[in-house]
Chains A and B, each alone.
Chain A
Amino acid sequence: MSTRTWDDYLLTAVNLVILVFLVAPVVIIVVQAFNAGLFLQFPLQGFSTRWFEKFFKTAAFMEALRTSFTLAAWTVALATTLGTMAALVLARVRFRGADFLNSLMLSPLMLPGILTGLALFQFYIVIGWGRTFPGLVLAHTVITMPYVMRTVAAMLATFDRSLEEAARNLGANEWRTFVEITLPMIKPGIIAGGVFAFIVSFDQFPVSLFLVQPGIVTLPIEIFNYLRYDFDPAVAAAASISVILTVAVVLVVDRLIGLHRFARL
């Protein structure tokens, strides 16, 4: 191994600057949330929790937070159920067209969200639904299901099927084998997929943009509407809270199943 020379240090120095660029906005959000002034100005104006108070006292933000949570909960429930069922069939049953159906069901990952949003909005108008909460849930399910399918498929790829055969030989029926052998083995994949689904739904913007209406506005859309006309640090408080929530979800799940297993997904 060669010794470190000045160009190694130069590379490290350049990369540290790039890392600062990457991390700075995260730090800025937290600093702004606790900064007393209306604008984040140099030098800082002092410590304050007024923006958090404003966030919690603004009915629109609270309503949006509630909507986002309910929406994410429904989305996770539907996406994990349907996604797991689909992944099980596509990974195990050999039939012509399986590859095509797999690509089709993963395709929402590749398509710009704004197109999915517009197409669904037009479709909902045509079938007479308009902008409804169930419509929003189904839209979020379509775009989050691929994450569950991928994490569950990753578990199934390394699955030892002789365990299931052993259970069958010992007299367990198909359903019991599934509940007692298959399900526990793929559980980490389902949970990881659920976490992805939650995060994606909670942060979703372009699809929601077309489908929300007063009364069912999600938090990212509410924040966006605030930013379009106003520069309000209550947004920084809202952002800090959603960061804390996301990190909490990820940490709890990591404790439970170890997310590093899915780092490559």
Chain B
Amino acid sequence: MRNAQPMVVASDFILDRVRGRSLTPLLPLLPGLLLMGFFFVLPLAAMLVLSVLTGSPLAGERVGFTLQHYGKALFDPFYIRNLYVTFKLGLLTTVATLVLGYPLAYQLARIRQPRTKTLWLILILSPMLVGLVNRTYAWMAILSDNGLINSALRWWGRTGGPVPLMYNELGVVIALVHIFLPFVVLTVSGVIATVDPALEEAARNLGANKWRAFRHVTLPLSMPGVLAGSLLVFSLAISSYVIPILMGGFKVITLPIQIYEQVAALLNFPLAAALSGVLLAISILIVWSYFRVMKQMGGPVGG
């Protein structure tokens, strides 16, 4: 990221050519770069431009600069509500994922037998082989009013209607936690594995009990992993679409759902672009923090 300046890159290309240095070794990069330029950078830039225009330039209207779409996206109570729900679900998911993921990560990092470790890894990673939509379906089969849990409760003699486990925020969070748990376990476990167990033993030899030794030695040393894992989960959770819509049944409207609705149902492209701009800004901020944390740890950068 030393030269994170497109203009510097472009001018260097030209300078190299002027100096007579061959650009042939760079040629194989060109197809991929063109693809990224035309089908990633340009569309995103166009979307951001659209978010500050009064109308579509294609419709031939007189278009001008405006911040009204961002004003609506950030200050209209209706859309603030979406933002609030999105952040709340993101935070709940992050906290729940950490609470469930930390003990698993701790034990995984401390398993010494390679075979046992492989078995645990397979179990932890196996849900990732099942597609996103398919896993959401499984949670619908478990949590719906006619699903596994409610029918079991009825069978055991519970009366008074089903327990509402989905089509609400609870259902969304359960499914989100399930999707992101493996990411957190792997991230945190990698950091805990770098904490020497001898440090904890030393604390115990000095008279600390097991819990105190863990709380004052391993836990603080693993905090960068916890932070990195949290950032990862939070950014994935707030940009998730499938789970909030299927598990929330249109009763839980998050930012990504609102973005899609603005396009698909209302054809309001500029507002969708502004809402996307907000989500993009939040995502970039989180990704930037994530890389800072990873850099400070000096560990491998995962994505």
Contacts and interface: CB of A to CB of B under 8 A. Distances in A.
A95 B12 contact: yes
A223 B138 CA distance: 12
A111 B142 CA distance: 31
A76 interface: no
Nearest to A43: B155
Contact of A18 (B40, B100, B269, B303): B100
A95 B155 CA distance: 69
Contact of A247 (B32, B129, B242): B129
Interface stretch (B87-95, B219-227, B279-287): B279-287
Interface string A1-37: 0100101000110110011011111101100100000
Contact of A21 (B39, B103, B178): B178
Question: What size tier do the contact residues of chain A reach?
Answer: 35 or more
A223 B137 contact: yes
Contacts of B280: 111-112, 115
Interface in B1-36: 1-6, 8-9, 12-13, 16, 25-26, 28-29, 31-33, 35-36
A264 B186 CA distance: 10
B35 A40 contact: no
B146 A239 contact: no
A213 to B, nearest CB: 12
Question: What size tier do the contact residues of chain B reach?
Answer: 35 or more
Contacts of B123: 19, 22-23
A143 to B, nearest CB: 9
A106 B246 contact: no
Contacts of B8: 96-97
Given A42-B148, A88-B28, A112-B239, A122 B9 contact: no
Nearest to B288: A110
A264 B302 CA distance: 9
Interface class of chain A by DSSP: helix
A183 interface: no
B291 to A, nearest CB: 9
Contacts of B260: 114, 118, 209-210
A192 interface: no
A103 interface: yes
A198 interface: no
Contact of B9 (A96, A113, A139, A223): A96
Interface of B: 1-6, 8-9, 12-13, 16, 25-26, 28-29, 31-33, 35-36, 39-44, 46-47, 50, 58, 100, 103-104, 106-107, 120, 123-124, 126-127, 129-142, 144, 146-148, 151-152, 155, 178, 181-182, 201, 204, 210-211, 235, 239, 241-242, 245-246, 256, 259-260, 263, 269, 272-273, 276, 279-280, 283, 287, 300, 303
24 contacts: A7-B210, A19-B124, A32-B138, A39-B144, A39-B146, A42-B151, A82-B31, A82-B35, A100-B4, A103-B1, A106-B303, A110-B283, A115-B280, A122-B46, A141-B35, A141-B39, A205-B133, A220-B133, A224-B133, A224-B246, A236-B137, A239-B131, A239-B134, A243-B129
